[in-house]
Structure 1
Amino acid sequence: MNDTAFRVREATAMDGQSLAEIHVETWQAAYAGLVPDDYLVRLSVDDRTRYWRELAAQRKKTQVLVAENAARQVVGFAAWGRTRSKDLPYRAEIYELYVHPDWQNQGAGRALMTAVFEEIAAAGGFNACLWVLSGNHSRFFYEAMGGQSVGQRRERFAGADLDETAYAWPDLIGWLRSVKG
């Protein structure tokens, strides 16, 4: 079930700049006070554009979906693939899920998460997880979406030790049934 206000589709290399803009603006808004300021200030849309164009074009290990509004403007994205953490027994991991600050709390995140879970289930996956900075308010979104806190870790990033929380969905098929009514 995708939210009717948003269309979710596979990202293409042509989406690179939109993904980069969302990435930079969302990081600067969501991670202020959590990630070192000098790192956030140095984030570059140009650098991120190259990264996202290449990632969207390769479609090998990481899948990238975008959410578009009614005007076909990309307002959010999600990237997922096989779980990277050997400490968690989940097949798939959402690496990134970002919605532009102007479009948050309008259903784009829910549409993206639902589409990712549908893709994971269609590929034979039955569970998924993600990591979020413990101080990031988006953790409340993941909790509202049925995510269960299943782990904690401390990671070194940009010269700082950051606390992260893992959320998991152990039964994607059941979750998808529940959101489809």
Structure 2
Amino acid sequence: MIKRLFDLVISLILLLILSPVILLTSLVVILDTGFPVFYRGLRVGREGRCFNILKFRSMVVDSRQKGPGITAGSDCRVTGSGRFLRKWKLDEFPQFFNVLRGEMSLVGPRPEDPRYVEYYTEEERKVLSVKPGVTGVSQILFRSEEELLDVDDPEEYYITCIMRQKLRVDLAYAQQQSLFF
């Protein structure tokens, strides 16, 4: 209850403070690549419930049909403005609306694309016992994930290496979750 109240209050404050940046970012996306401004991607949340994550669109329209569900540093689907948005994590700001709707928390494991959750082991599925977050320990540790994925087979490398490492960190968070942590 306290964490939810904290999420609500902080998200509202951040949305108010960031509203000029959000408006400017929307304008940049429109001028660079047109509409839609937002990307809505299916993600798996708490208890395995799916929801649509909201982000500023940083890739070409219909990018999901044009490639894998992960993005490597050299991915040609990323737009000019998208590279800037991703570098500074501005594309993530709309997720504060997901927090307000109760689908996400400010801090927690990142919500995963359903096609990758299929690869979770029984133990790794325990990460779905907590609300996913806008940020978390694994996001800080893997801040440059796109560069790490700049390999011959980024999807395979993500599933076998990066996703496993992130899940270990996220499982530790799920087991020791606290307002401070």
Normalised by the size of structure 1, how large is the TM-score? 0.30
Q: Which has the higher strand share?
A: 1
Q: Which has the higher helix share?
A: 2
Normalised by the size of structure 2, how large is the TM-score? 0.30
